Amino acid sequence: MKFFNFHTHNFTNQADVLELVNQYPQEFDATIPFYSMGIHPWYIVEDRVEADLGIIESKLQEKNCLAIGECGLDKRIAIPLKLQQMVFEKQLLLAQKHNKPVVIHCVAAFQEVMDTKKRLNISVPMIIHGYSKNRQLAKQLLENGFYISFGKYLLRNPELESVFKSIPNNRFFLETDTVEEKINEVYALAAKYKNTTVAELQKEINATVLDVFKIE
C-alpha cells in the first residue's frame, strides 16, 4: 500500500490507495474492499438503533470491516446528547468486544468523549477524524491515548501546520473525508509540514496502520 486514506465517503478504487470507506448499516455496499461502519450521531433513528447495532456487529466479524464508525458526539445538532451518548457507548462496547478501532466524529464534545473512553475502560484504538482544533487539545487527546486524523482542515487552514507538526509520527493518520482533493495531495502537504519526503511518510503511516488495524 502506497497511500492509506483513513476516512473517506468516496470510494475511488485506486490501485495504490487503501481506502477506509465510511459505510452506514442501512446502505451497505459489498463491493467496497475495506470499510468502517457505524451510527453517525447525525443519523440516529431512535427506533432503529438496535437493528443498526445488530448489522454493525455482524459486519465487525468480517475481516474487511476494519473499524467501527464514524460514531461519536456532536453538540451542534438537534438530536439529544443523552441519546447520542447511549448510541456512542453501545458502539464503543462493540468495538471493545470485537477488538476493532473506532473512527470518532466529535463536535464541541471532546471532554465528554475522553471521559467516556476512560469510564468504559476502552482500550482499542480511538481515532479523532477531521481534526481542526488547537495544539493544547491535541496534546490532551494524545495523553488520553487517542490517535488524530487530519485532512480537509489541514488543506484549508494554514494555522493547523503547527498543530500537525506537534503530533508524533506514530499517532496520526491522513484522510480526505468528503473533499475533492486526492489523498496524495494530503500526503504531499503533510510531508512538507513534517519536513520529510512522501515516501518516508508513507513508510511511517503504513507502520501505524499495521499496528492499529493489524493489516499488511
Annotated binding site: 70, 105, 129, 177
Whole-angstrom distance, CA of residue 184 vs CA of residue 194: 15
Residue 86 near residue 120 (C-beta atoms within 8 A): no
Q: Retrieve residue 27's grid coordinates.
A: 446502505
SS3 179: coil
**Of 123, 116, 177, nearest in space to 149 by CA:** 177
Whole-angstrom distance, CA of residue 191 vs CA of residue 184: 10
Angle at 105 between CA 78 and CA 194, to 5 degrees: 145
Whole-angstrom distance, CA of residue 171 vs CA of residue 193: 15
Residues annotated within the binding site for a divalent metal cation are 70, 105, 129, 177
The four Cα atoms 168, 129, 202, 96 give a dihedral, to 10 degrees, of 80
